[in-house]
């Protein structure tokens, strides 16, 4: 298994180096004074920096199960931009900038990431095909014939590109799930599992023991402490929630913060600066468009230009969210009916505004006021909050962060009418994932995707 990891990393590093050395090719094409040694040194230096930065951005860890465009591509771009600007700084600091063409450096800045992404895409497709054929696969065993273990085994079967093959299950007691034993081989009991783990029979072993048998799980983990096989745990829902908790140390005592403010003081300041800078720039650019929209709303239907509705903000504090009016009514209070497809309340101009999300533009004023962020969980009507907080556990945790004009749920397709509980659950899951994973880079990604996605969103009406 170690050899497989090393060979895969070697392939990635080799192709990355070749992509980065494209500067030499660019120099040979565009430079009249072709300084081969200088450009080669820059390419090799960038390859070294890229590899070092890549250790922090995890571009050389296993890609199995990791989304390509939403994860690996973003990591590659961040790694390359960091590499490029570090190298440029070194060039200027060493006073050798006159040896390099600005045209070549700018071309290299754009060409290299394109080649890096193309290389990774081709290699991923090739290795994924080999894994589907059973080449370079890892054999795994699952301990505990439980529902969690079965779901994991079925998920692996549905994703052969993960490179994992389930050899079978180890039974944890005599009353194991009969349905599981009919689908997968039973390869022994817990005693045999410990022996196989020490012998290295399988590449990986996954523990999927019942959540109510903590003593058994602890005993098995202790027995596996001196094995040569990687041991992994499939968490139950409770353990999974704890994994996303924040670790603290208070009075020399380790503490898990289950429900707490997701942003540190420093991160909150960074996010506020982001809102003020990006919000001000966008508002200035959008003011002419907003003036045209305001005139269109006023001239085509009776009623106010802006629709203001009370929503819950940070820590549940009420505020009035601003929108361009898109309906013939301005509902607020205890009963608010969501817009549905072909809703008769929506005006002709309102339909266009809702489809393109331009009805949300006045919310940039909410951002500058400090009630909202550009990115965050979308604010729901208070009546909807009251209804869903009793149906979805942890629903009100969305209010640990300022609501946003756009959010992680919206760019993942969970936008628009929530006519089923499942749709709202998925929206809340995305919101909680965003809150747990917040970073400035994630906000910029969401803003960038939103700019292109809203025009083609089928859920907007």
Do 127 and 179 belong to one domain?
Answer: no
The yes-or-no verdict on residue 11 having pLDDT over 90 is no
* pLDDT for 68 beyond 60: yes
Please give the Cα distance from 49 to 37 (Å, whole number): 18
Provide the pLDDT for residue 6: 45
**Which of the listed residues 132, 160, 186 is the one where a domain comes to its end?**
132
Pick 16 or 335 by higher pLDDT.
Answer: 16
Q: Based on the fold, state whether residues 120 and 98 are members of the same structural domain.
A: yes
Instruction: Identify whether 250 is part of a domain.
Output: no
Which of 396, 417, 399 minimizes the C-alpha distance to 337? 417
pLDDT 10s digits, 87-133: 999 988 888 888 888 888 999 999 999 999 998 888 877 876 766 66
Q: Are both 304 and 384 inside the same structural domain?
A: yes
User: What does the pLDDT look like over 125-171, one tens digit per residue?
Assistant: 787 676 666 565 678 889 887 888 888 888 887 776 667 788 888 88
Domain boundary residue, one of 74, 104, 132? 132
For residues 147 and 25, membership in a common domain is answered with: no
CB distance 209 to 217 below 8 Å:
yes
pLDDT at 63 over 60: no
Structure-model confidence comparison of residues 10 and 454, the more confident one:
10
Q: CA 45, 78, 114 angle in degrees (round to 5)?
A: 75
User: Which tens digits make up the pLDDT trace of 381-423?
Assistant: 888 788 888 888 778 888 888 999 999 988 888 776 666 888 8
The count of domains in the chain is 3
Separation in Å, CA 80 to CA 47, 54, 86: 10, 9, 10
Contact predicate 133/148, CB 8 Å = no
Query: In whole angstroms, what separates CA 178 from the centre of its chain?
Result: 37
Report the alpha-carbon distance of residue 8 to residue 6 in Å, rounded. Answer: 6
> Domain range for residue 280?
265-456
Same domain, 160 and 201: yes
CB 402 within 8 A of CB 369: no
Q: Are residues 97 and 157 in the same domain?
A: no
In a domain, 394, yes or no: yes
User: Residue 161 has which token pair?
Assistant: 């590109």
Residues 117 and 192 in one domain: no
Q: What is the pTM of this model?
A: 0.53
Picking from 109, 132, 155, the residue at the C-terminal end of a domain is: 132
Contact 208, 142 (CB under 8 A): yes
């Amino acid at each position: 298994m170690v050899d497989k990891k090393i060979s895969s990393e070697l392939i990635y590093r080799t192709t990355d180096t070749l992509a980065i050395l494209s500067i030499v090719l660019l120099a040979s094409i565009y430079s009249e004074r072709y300084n081969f040694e200088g450009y080669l040194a820059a390419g090799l230096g960038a390859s070294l920096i890229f590899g070092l930065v890549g250790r922090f951005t995890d571009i050389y860890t296993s890609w199995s199960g990791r989304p390509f465009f939403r994860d690996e591509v973003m990591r590659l771009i961040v790694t390359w931009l960091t590499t490029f600007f570090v190298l440029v700084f070194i060039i200027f600091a060493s006073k050798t900038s006159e040896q390099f063409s600005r045209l070549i450096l700018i071309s290299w800045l754009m060409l290299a990431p394109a080649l890096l992404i193309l290389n990774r895409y081709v290699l991923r497709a090739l290795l994924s095909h080999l894994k589907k054929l059973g080449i370079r696969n890892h054999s795994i065993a699952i301990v505990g014939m439980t529902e969690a273990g079965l779901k994991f085994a079925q998920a692996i079967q549905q994703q052969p590109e993960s490179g994992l093959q389930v050899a079978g299950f180890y039974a944890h007691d005599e009353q194991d799930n009969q349905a599981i034993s009919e689908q997968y081989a039973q390869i022994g009991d817990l005693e045999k599992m410990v022996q196989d783990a020490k012998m290295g029979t399988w590449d990986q072993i996954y523990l999927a023991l019942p959540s109510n048998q903590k003593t058994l799980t602890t005993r098995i983990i202790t027995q596996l402490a001196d094995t040569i096989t990687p041991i992994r745990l499939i968490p139950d829902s409770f353990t999974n929630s704890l994994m996303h908790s924040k670790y603290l140390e208070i009075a020399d005592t380790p503490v898990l913060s289950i429900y707490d403010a997701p942003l540190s003081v420093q991160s909150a300041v960074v996010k506020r600066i982001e809102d003020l800078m990006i919000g001000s720039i966008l508002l200035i650019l959008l003011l002419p468009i907003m003036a045209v929209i305001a005139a269109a709303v006023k001239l085509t239907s009776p009623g106010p230009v802006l629709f203001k509705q009370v929503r819950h903000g940070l820590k549940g504090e009420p505020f009035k969210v601003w929108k361009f009016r898109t309906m013939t009514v301005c509902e607020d209070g205890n009963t608010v009916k969501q817009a549905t497809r072909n809703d008769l309340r929506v005006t002709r101009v309102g339909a266009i505004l809702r489809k393109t999300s331009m009805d949300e533009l006045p919310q940039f004023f909410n951002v500058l006021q400090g009630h909202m962020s550009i990115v965050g969980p979308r604010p729901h009507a208070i009546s909807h909050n009251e209804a869903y907080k009793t149906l979805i556990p942890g629903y009100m945790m969305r209010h640990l962060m300022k609501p946003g004009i756009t959010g992680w749920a919206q760019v993942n397709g969970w936008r628009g009418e929530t006519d089923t509980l499942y749709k709202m659950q998925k929206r809340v899951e995305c919101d909680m994932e965003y809150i747990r994973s917040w970073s400035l880079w994630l906000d910029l990604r969401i803003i960038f995707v939103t700019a292109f996605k809203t025009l083609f969103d089928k859920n907007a009406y």
